[in-house]
Amino acid sequence: MAYLLFKMDLPTSRTNQFRQGKLHVMEGNTSIKSWTATSGYAPYQCLNDQSTRAKGPIPSCSKVGITNYSVSTSPINHANTPGIRSNFYHILNSRWSEGRIFVNGIARSQFGIHFDDRSPGSAGCIVIRTRSEWNDYDQYLKAYRQRGHNRIDLIVQYNGSSPLLPQSQVFTVQQPTSGQNQPVNTSITFSGTAKPEVSKIIALVGPGGPFKIAELTSAGATWRFDYKFLNRGVNRPFTFQAYNSSGRLLQTISFRLTII
């Protein structure tokens, strides 16, 4: 099955150079179609600005610990919206089934693929640079939708990075365990272990958000925190992320709890 791949080379820190890459349609490892595209705008088109709202590029999949995003093939008509003036194809986070993601604990949202009307660059969306290439992309997504596909996967890579691979275990969440029921309005203890390379652990909870409930630095060999939930919820999704001292995501652990 086809998927989208957005690739662009980015420096580590800010420069005034405008950068652009390619949005590919992939079948396996083969690109069957591509368009010139970009994300973010100068001087914020750099790896360190993936968490910068409304300026930096869309975060790579490896940066946020997902294998891929998903793109809706049913566009929203923004033909009269300055900065877009085209159909808008919403980009969804494949883990949370919505548009919001967290990068280093900072929320970014409202990503999409559209025409680069306010040339050059975007507030984080993937934008196709020329009207002729945009029209070709728009027709491809229309045909893909007519073949019965509601979404198409999207992988975002920078500087030739590889897609997210199975992760080595550098930390654990020992308590609570997935599937448990936990009481509302009562402090719940979250605890686990961490290897020396872990310098930060971020805990997120949904649905909605996701919302950050803890950020632990200098976790040590064991870590713990307490949190009190004020609202009930069935099968609430939790995501714990471990980072090294350079801010690189090392491992993600996901599980669900019911708050009763």
- What is the Cα–Cα distance from 143 to 140, expressed in whole angstroms? 5
Tokens, residue 149: 């596909």
Which amino acid does the sequence have at 244?
A: N
- How far apart CA 202 and CA 101 sit, in angstroms, is 13
Q: Which domains does the chain have, with CATH numbers?
A: 3-158 (2.40.440), 181-259 (2.60.40.10)
Q: What is the pLDDT of residue 134?
A: 97
Neighbours of 77 (CB within 10 A): 10
Q: Where is 137: in which H helix or E strand?
A: helix 131-146
Give the DSSP letter string of 164-220. Answer: PPPPP--B---BSPTT-EE-TTSEEEEEEEB-TT--EEEEEE-SSS-EEEEEEES--
DSSP state of 121: -
Q: What's the confidence (pLDDT) of residue 99? A: 57
**Does the pTM exceed 0.75?**
no
pLDDT of residue 97: 46
* Centroid of chain to Cα 90: 13
SS3 category, 243? strand
Give the pLDDT confidence score for residue 244 in this predicted structure: 86
Identify each DSSP E strand in 50-133 by its residue range. 69-72, 76-78, 86-93, 101-103, 106-108, 112-115, 126-128
Q: What is the pLDDT of residue 179?
A: 87
Q: For position 142, what pLDDT does the model report?
A: 96
Structure tokens at 252: 């993600």
pLDDT of the residue at 94: 58
DSSP structural state of residue 49: G
| pLDDT for 58 | 96
The CA distance from 175 to 180, in Å, is 10
The tens-digit pLDDT sequence of the chain (260 residues) is 789 999 999 999 999 999 999 999 998 888 999 999 999 999 999 999 999 999 999 999 888 877 789 999 999 999 999 999 999 999 987 554 455 666 766 778 889 999 999 879 999 999 999 999 999 999 999 999 999 999 999 999 999 755 544 456 889 999 998 889 999 999 999 999 999 989 999 999 988 767 899 999 976 789 999 999 999 999 898 989 888 888 778 888 888 899 99
CA 3 to the chain's CA centroid? 16
